[in-house]
């Protein structure tokens, strides 16, 4: 009897193992589906209006179950299993097929994240993070980046790009700072439009995120954000409005957090009243993944279209609500129709090229990744150290714990699995060796060894900063506030930074290197601001290198040795001390966002930054003069035109970012001292000059009047400033008047 029981038990174990193996095998080798429509099945579809008519017909032909299937990603069991197998066994981000209907021949759409490259699959080009690209202040360059990302997204069999991320950098401790472009809404908006328009050329639906007010990472699942209407409209929404109205974004992703007591995915005020009714958005809204939607009925009533990535609240819960009459089928039809009208346009549109996997991380694409890294690096300090003398016959010491670490950014949803990563040391070593020099590496913590290495070298590069363990997307299983915050902080990987300071070991390494060798450059790897008061005087030169992508090491070498003249400018303000900033509570359950942050706060309170917004040095010098406005008085519907002469007064060719700010010193209401309202990146040879012209609709000077619920332009005299950073010391000034 016992023998039979043991045999039966063994057989059961074997069956379970076989069944588990079969499930894992199926999850690992899941079916793939084309995201393009089979046009042979829809001969009547020839134009965009035909696609819209098809969408209307398909809705009438769908059962209620089929309609609901358009409103969620995959079924939980198979979807979760696919994720687990893909992530832990294959180190890949899987395809999640949404809305496929075999009976009606509707192809699916498939999401690929991607602020720094295509995320699904492996072997993709890893660009510098978005914050680095924001530091380039080069919108044309961002269009080229998005063009490559669009191509590689399609090469992976996907057609929906969860990018750009355009949340305002409210505070530099925000963990996902690296995924956005900076602290200023105007800068964000210009980059967002460029990215969106470019990626959508490849029939990839762009999805700007996270709409809205997702500016704290650790408490993102539960924090309730409150702010006044002017702050909402003038600071946290204008870049979203611009990417919808000018960029024509196909989709938008809702945020996890609450807004004025409602989860954003339940907020009709944001998703319908503002997004659709005011801004005219005609696309569809998807939820952030897993925990953004908490209630199916509230989601439908708010205008939340698709629950991602799995069927949960839009499953049985919603079916039950429809049976009870809490949600009508007409409301479901409205949602499904706008989903189909948008996504089928992309499924039927002709492709401009063939998206073969061979284009991924091609020589052309990786060369662009290097160019972007070169143009994004920001030189903050240079006591005649840089550019280094060419390394032929010389030794360069590369110090720091992360100096030889593949370190392209966080490991969350933006993680790109590149075929290789050139570390700072690898790039400097290759550069030195090619010219007959030698690179020395010390990445330990023994300061005496570090000093010895520095003494043996002619040039010293200290690489300091962070990794995905220190900042980035923060994952927790619970969506409730932690009972023990201290325990969470100790166990956290990624998330918000607890301090803006460098790690003590980095500061010690900088001081040790400087003690051993005067020829020291500090390279900062970070996603946002780092305070430097405790070591800045020990660093003759400071360069922001960012998470610089797969070719970052090669780019770093070319910048340090002068093959490339640094041209990046800070997309945020670096404070002298964290005490200059408002309190940032990473675990807040309630948060009040203020009207001022970044350079507007420093201007308003007359605070001196360590390095101001828009600042960056070059190996040459630039001067501005001859500022003029086309006319002294403008009407409300005019376009302001202002000019200044920009001169390269140095001995090297270089690129300068000319910046336009508008001042509101005569306003009768509380307004910033000045706001960015234009920028251009301009290449000039030594001694060359050019006229920089800015044109700006007068309506872009408006403030939001919450009592009138309208944007209004004040009739008054405005200042305008043109120069190389937001610091008043680097700006020249003029004025103009707007008449009623």
| Torsion angle of C-alpha atoms 546, 548, 552, 556, degrees rounded to 10 | -20
DSSP 173: T
Cα of first residue to Cα of last residue in the chain, in angstroms, is: 99
Token pair 């007010």: residue: 213
**Which tokens hold the place of 72?**
């969620």
Q: Rounded to an integer, what distance in angstroms lies between the CA atom of residue 614 and that of residue 676?
A: 10
Decide: 597 and 626 in contact? Cβ < 8 Å. Answer: no
Report the C-alpha gap between 439 and 553 in whole angstroms.
Answer: 13
Written as six digits, the tokens of 588 are: 């807040």
Question: Contact 447/400 with Cβ under 8 angstroms?
Answer: no
Adjacency order of strands within the sheet including 590-592: 262-263, 258-259, 224-226, 590-592
Q: SS3 for 93-104, per residue?
A: ECCCEECCECCC
Q: Residue 150: enclosing H or E segment and its boundaries?
A: helix 139-155
Closest CA to 413 of 175, 602, 636, 85: 175
What are the backbone angles phi and psi of residue 553, rounded to the nearest 5°? -65, -40
Q: What's the Rg (C-alpha) of the chain?
A: 27
Q: Is 647 helix (H, G, I), strand (E, B) or coil?
A: strand
Nearest CA among 412, 404, 405 for reference residue 492: 412
62's CB contacts (< 8 A; 6+ apart) are 70, 101, 104, 336
Is position 31 annotated as part of the catalytic site? no
In angstroms, the CA 539 to CA 518 distance is 9
Distances (CA, A) of 470 to 73, 119, 418, 496, 525: 31, 21, 21, 8, 11
Q: Which of 113, 138, 184, 288 is catalytic?
A: 288
Active-site residues, by number, are 288
């Amino acid at each position: 009897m016992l023998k039979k029981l043991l045999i039966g038990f063994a057989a059961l174990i074997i069956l379970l193992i076989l069944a588990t193996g079969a499930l894992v095998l199926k999850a690992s080798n899941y079916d793939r589906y084309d995201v393009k429509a089979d046009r042979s099945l829809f001969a009547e579809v020839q134009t965009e209006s035909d696609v819209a008519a098809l969408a209307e017909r398909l809705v009438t032909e769908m059962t209620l179950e089929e309609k609901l299937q358009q409103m969620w990603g995959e079924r939980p069991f198979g979807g979760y299993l696919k994720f687990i197998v893909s992530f832990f066994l294959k180190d890949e981000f899987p395809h999640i097929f949404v809305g496929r209907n075999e009976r009606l021949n509707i192809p699916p759409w498939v999401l690929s994240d991607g602020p720094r490259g295509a995320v699904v699959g492996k072997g993709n080009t890893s660009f510098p993070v978005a914050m680095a690209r924001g530091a380039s202040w080069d919108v044309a360059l961002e269009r080229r980046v998005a063009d490559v990302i669009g191509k590689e997204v399609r090469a992976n069999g996907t057609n929906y790009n969860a990018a750009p991320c355009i949340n305002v950098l409210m505070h530099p401790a925000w963990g996902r700072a690296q995924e956005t472009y900076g602290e200023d809404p105007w800068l964000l908006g210009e980059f967002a439009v460029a990215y969106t328009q470019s990626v959508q050329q490849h029939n990839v639906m762009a999805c700007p995120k996270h709409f809205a007010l997702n500016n704290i990472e650790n408490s993102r699942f539960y924090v309730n954000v409150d702010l006044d209407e002017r702050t909402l409209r003038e600071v946290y929404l204008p870049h979203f409005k611009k990417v919808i109205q000018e960029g024509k974004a196909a989709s938008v992703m809702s945020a996890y957090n609450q807004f004025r007591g409602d989860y954003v995915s339940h907020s009709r005020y944001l998703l319908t009243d503002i997004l659709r009714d005011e801004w005219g958005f005609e696309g569809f809204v998807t939820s952030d993944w897993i925990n953004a939607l908490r209630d199916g009925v509230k989601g439908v009533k708010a205008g939340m279209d698709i629950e991602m990535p799995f069927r949960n609240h839009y499953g049985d819960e919603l079916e039950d609500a429809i049976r009870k009459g809490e949600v009508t089928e007409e409301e479901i039809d409205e949602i499904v129709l706008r989903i189909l009208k948008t996504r089928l346009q992309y499924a039927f549109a002709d492709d401009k090229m063939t998206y073969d996997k061979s284009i991924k991380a091609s020589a052309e694409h990786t060369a662009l990744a290097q160019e972007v890294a070169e143009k994004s690096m920001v030189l903050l300090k240079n006591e005649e150290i840089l550019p280094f003398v060419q390394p032929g016959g010389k030794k360069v010491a590369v110090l720091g714990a992360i100096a030889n670490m593949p370190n392209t950014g966080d490991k969350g949803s933006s993680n790109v699995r590149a075929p290789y990563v050139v570390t700072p040391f690898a790039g400097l070593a290759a550069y030195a060796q090619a010219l007959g020099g030698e690179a020395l590496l010390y990445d330990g913590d023994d300061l005496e060894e570090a000093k010895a290495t520095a003494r043996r070298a002619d040039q010293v590069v200290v690489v300091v900063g962070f990794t995905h363990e220190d900042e980035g997307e923060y994952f927790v299983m619970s969506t409730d506030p932690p009972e023990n915050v201290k325990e969470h902080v100790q166990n956290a990987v990624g998330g918000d930074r607890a301090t803006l300071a460098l790690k003590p070991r980095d500061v010690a390494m900088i001081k040790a290197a400087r003690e051993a060798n005067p020829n020291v450059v500090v390279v900062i790897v970070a996603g946002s601001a780092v305070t430097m008061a405790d070591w800045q005087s020990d660093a003759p030169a400071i360069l922001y290198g960012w998470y610089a992508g797969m070719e970052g090491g090669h780019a770093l070498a070319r910048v340090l040795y002068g093959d490339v003249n640094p041209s990046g400018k800070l997309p945020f303000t670096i404070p002298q001390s964290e005490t200059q900033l408002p309190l940032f509570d990473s675990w807040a359950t309630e948060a009040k966002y203020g009207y001022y942050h970044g350079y507007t706060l420093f201007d308003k309170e007359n605070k001196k930054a360590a390095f101001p917004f828009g600042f960056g040095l070059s190996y040459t010098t630039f001067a501005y003069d001859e500022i003029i406005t086309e006319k002294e008085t403008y009407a409300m519907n005019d376009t302001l035109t202002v000019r200044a002469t920009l001169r390269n007064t140095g001995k090297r060719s270089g690129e300068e970012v000319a910046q336009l700010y508008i001042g509101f010193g005569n306003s009768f209401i509380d307004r910033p001292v000045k706001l960015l309202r234009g920028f251009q990146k301009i290449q000039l040879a030594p001694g060359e000059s050019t006229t920089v012209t800015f044109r700006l609709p007068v309506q872009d000077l408006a403030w939001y009047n919450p009592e009138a619920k309208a944007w209004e332009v004040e009739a008054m005299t405005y200042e305008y400033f043109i120069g190389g950073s937001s610091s008043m010391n680097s700006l020249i000034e003029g004025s103009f008047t707007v008449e009623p």
